[in-house]
A and B are shown apart, each in its own frame.
Chain A
Amino acid sequence: MDAYVSRDKTERGASRMGMIVFLASEVFLFGSLFFTYFYLKINTKPWPPEGVALDPKFAAINTGILLFGSLLVWAASRLVRRGRMAAVQAALFTASVLGFVFLGITGWEWRHESFRAWTNAYGSIFFTLTGFHALHVFGGAMLMLALAIRTRRGKYTFATHTGIEVGALYWHYVDFIWILVFTTLFFIR
């Protein structure tokens, strides 16, 4: 029994550290996109170019959705320590659904944008930035779905739940990036 617990400890340490290291790299991924955005912004007058009208309404709703999802995932990672697995499963599943709702709203918003990716450089970076973020939300939503399924299958207990902790880290990161994307696109003109 003792050996079992200690092995789990090192494994959790490695997965957590692996996710932290990976997220450091991800910061640079979005860093490169933000660098592009600001480089283009500094070198283009006016910015955003004419014909670009952005409506922050849907993005604001999306922000709320992601923040609520983050709250649920945080709750899940707290509840799992008390062994309340049914609540954990519900929270993770809802977070996953919220992720897909976010993607749906994003897609709807993309369709109604007044510009396209190939219209101008602004369109290119706008769709690449939001697109890369959407890709990460998709990954996160799938991950939350997997964690919900695994919770249902009894893979996690109050003592062993590395997957949920590591998954929560990722989900919070995706959320954090959205805040940056949202403020950059809609408020730093």
Chain B
Amino acid sequence: MKRFFSIGLVRGILGGTAGTGTGAGAVMLIRMAMGLPAWDEGQVWAAGIVAGVAGYLIALGLFNYWARWFVGARDRFEPNMPSRSWTRFLSVSTDHKTIGIQYLATALIFLPVAVALQLIARADLSKIGFSLNPETYTALISDHGIVMLFIVAIPAFAGLMNYFVPLQIGAKDMAFPRLNALSFWLVPAAGILMVTALGAGGFDTGWTIYPPLSVSYQPLGMNLVLIGAYLAGFSSILSAVNILTTVIKLRAPGMGIFRMPIFVWTAVSTTILSLLFTQFVSMALLFVLLERTLNMPFFGTAGGGQPLLYQYMFWFYSHPATYIFALPGLGIISEIIPVFARKPLFGYKAVALSSVGIAIGGTMVFGHHMFAAGIPALLRIPFMITTMLVAVPTGVKVFAWVATAWGGKLRMGSPLLFVLSAIVIFLIGGLTGVIQAVVPVNLYVHDTYWIVAHFHSVLFGGFLFPLMAGIYYWFPKMTGRRMSEGLGRAQWWLMTLGSALLILPMFVLGLDGLRRRTADYSNMDFRPLVIATAVGGFLIFLGLVVLFYNILRSRRKGAPAWDNPWEGRTLEWMTSSPPPYDNFPATPVVTGEPYDYGISSRPYADVTRSNPSKNR
């Protein structure tokens, strides 16, 4: 029993329950003291959930250190060797490698859930003999979207960045390990809130949560989603602070910025975006919550509010956010191609700087989401031009990938297969993005399946396939065992075919005028293509099942991977698999270039010599 309670998650759940009761009770008491009826669904639950999350974090023990710091207590000895039992993933750990796996596992648990929500909706739309009511349909697709973005996409890449950024820059850990733990533990709470929202009435605004629909007529589920998204945003800000500081301050001696691996460059670009712009979406979501619970009319026109204000604040974040989801993926592609082509990365500096270019350009294009929303016509043209310009740094990357692979002797491992699919799908998404940036085209395709097809191809090419490639590429480093190549290929076939079936018909459907987020359609000509998208989604789901089987099987029975199964040059391959607690036997000293495959026998870094004078 004592061992059971030593698991952090168990204490966290108990603390969360206690906190919820306390918060809800406190609000009811305050309301009674003010002479109001004690029960107000919105306010009582909102306070209960916020206090519940606080209780959960306190019970997990995340604030123990800071509480002792506050009163100046003597530093307690913190054991720095984590237990090897799998239960360590259920408790607070400050080791960046454990946290990285915690992030990845959370994302991979919520990924099939979010896919399944959409599959139910797809089955309904295929008209195969069962039908949902429209509210349920929109609740399912809305939850699919928001869970995918906040609980799958961001945490999955946060996991890979947590694990591999410190390794790739030769650091022992992140700059702030305790903050790192805090940012992780917010994510499961947010995910659970977002999924239970379906049980609390759901919400049917789409993942964008536009007012005035979101501030009126919505059941309690909307509040849960708002609080969940706020927590997820908080988590990604804290983790951005951590990753940026780590890269700025903890690079190994000799690693100038133009010797950093591309994945680190993209991590920096991503974290700059999420560091700054998440504040805007968090505030917009908070405004919606305040308007719903305390009747503060930010958006309601009756009180002098402005509905469009939300869209500005939302897209000011959410456009850069599409790059937050995609940039680390582009980094993974850039990592894998040179290793599997055995050639230097073509145009290293251009690829590195294009990440920053995408980040900067991506902040100036948000208006293109609002061409149909009645923004001043004057603003449309500049936003159209900037949107098209973002294609340039992205094109630089694609060109460099192709040029790297060109003439190389490609080793067709499963990481590379996923990368190749990713490039093709990302290209489709990128090119259609330029097409729909043109204002008249945009007005025509706005809110149709064309848009859905566009952003799914960007996210498949920029997030899903690179994530899979990253998992296959780095799994040997994380576990010391290789994944099954045959299962990897099976998954690749399933997911590539599934993506084609899912995405391509949607472009046609969109041009033919089928609108997104509608639970029904009367023109039966749409039906075959709608069924094709459903089949595509199902194949992707099957691919995920194969992935899980492969992970669980290979964790125990996979062939031993040793330190460097892919013969990579970057620092993470210069230590054991999995790496020891302090990552490297000695502080690495970087003396070469990261991607000099085949042209230089000089290694990238020396990790063996002891290095007493850290002259930085």
Query: Which one, A17, A25, A40, A146, contacts B304 given CB within 8 A?
Result: A40
Q: Tell me the residues in window 1-34 of chain A with beta carbons closer than 8 Å to chain B beta carbons.
A: 6, 10, 13-14, 17-18, 21-22, 24-26, 28-29, 31-33
**A29 and B279 contacting across the interface, CB-CB below 8 Å:** yes
Tell me the count of chain A residues lying within 8 A, CB to CB, of chain B.
41
Binary CB contact string for chain A from 85 to 116 against chain B (1 if under 8 A, 0 otherwise) = 00000000000000000000000000000000
Tell me the count of chain B residues lying within 8 A, CB to CB, of chain A.
41
* A28-B279, A29-B279 known; A128+B290 contact, CB < 8 A: yes
Cβ of B245 within 8 Å of any chain A Cβ, yes or no, is yes
| Min C-beta distance of B11 to chain A, whole Å | 25
Q: B70 to chain A: which residues have CB within 8 Å? A: 142, 146, 149
How distant is the Cα of A35 from the Cα of B317 in the complex, in angstroms? Answer: 13
* A14-B245, A28-B279 known; A119+B303 contact, CB < 8 A: yes
**A118 and B306 contacting across the interface, CB-CB below 8 Å:** no
How distant is the Cα of A32 from the Cα of B283 in the complex, in angstroms? Answer: 7
**B72 and A25 contacting across the interface, CB-CB below 8 Å:** no
How distant is the Cα of A44 from the Cα of B280 in the complex, in angstroms? Answer: 22
| Min C-beta distance of B299 to chain A, whole Å | 8
* A40-B304, A123-B296, A146-B69 known; A21+B244 contact, CB < 8 A: yes
Q: A119 to chain B: which residues have CB within 8 Å? A: 303
Q: A22 to chain B: which residues have CB within 8 Å? A: 241
How distant is the Cα of A29 from the Cα of B279 in the complex, in angstroms? Answer: 5
**B279 and A10 contacting across the interface, CB-CB below 8 Å:** no
**B303 and A21 contacting across the interface, CB-CB below 8 Å:** no
**A124 and B290 contacting across the interface, CB-CB below 8 Å:** yes
**A153 and B237 contacting across the interface, CB-CB below 8 Å:** no
Q: B290 to chain A: which residues have CB within 8 Å? A: 117, 124, 128
| Min C-beta distance of A6 to chain B, whole Å | 7
Cβ of A155 within 8 Å of any chain B Cβ, yes or no, is yes
* A25-B279, A28-B279, A36-B283 known; A117+B296 contact, CB < 8 A: yes
How distant is the Cα of A24 from the Cα of B241 in the complex, in angstroms? Answer: 9
**A14 and B175 contacting across the interface, CB-CB below 8 Å:** yes
**B277 and A28 contacting across the interface, CB-CB below 8 Å:** yes
| Min C-beta distance of A95 to chain B, whole Å | 16
* A121-B303, A124-B296 known; A29+B72 contact, CB < 8 A: no
**A40 and B72 contacting across the interface, CB-CB below 8 Å:** no
Q: Tell me the residues in window 260-312 of chain B with beta carbons closer than 8 Å to chain A beta carbons.
A: 275-280, 282-284, 287, 290-291, 294-298, 303-306, 309, 312
| Min C-beta distance of A21 to chain B, whole Å | 5
Cβ of A125 within 8 Å of any chain B Cβ, yes or no, is yes
Q: A153 to chain B: which residues have CB within 8 Å? A: 71-72
How distant is the Cα of A146 from the Cα of B309 in the complex, in angstroms? Answer: 39
How distant is the Cα of A123 from the Cα of B296 in the complex, in angstroms? Answer: 8
**A32 and B304 contacting across the interface, CB-CB below 8 Å:** no
Q: B148 to chain A: which residues have CB within 8 Å? A: none
- A–B pairs, 11, beta carbons within 8 Å: A10-B616, A14-B175, A25-B241, A25-B278, A28-B279, A29-B279, A35-B280, A117-B296, A121-B304, A121-B305, A124-B298
Give B residues with C-beta under 8 Å from A: 69-72, 175-176, 237, 240-242, 244-245, 248-250, 275-280, 282-284, 287, 290-291, 294-298, 303-306, 309, 312-313, 614, 616
10 more CB-based (< 8 A) A-B contacts, given A17-B249, A25-B278, A124-B296: A14-B245, A17-B245, A21-B241, A21-B248, A36-B313, A125-B298, A128-B296, A142-B70, A149-B70, A150-B72
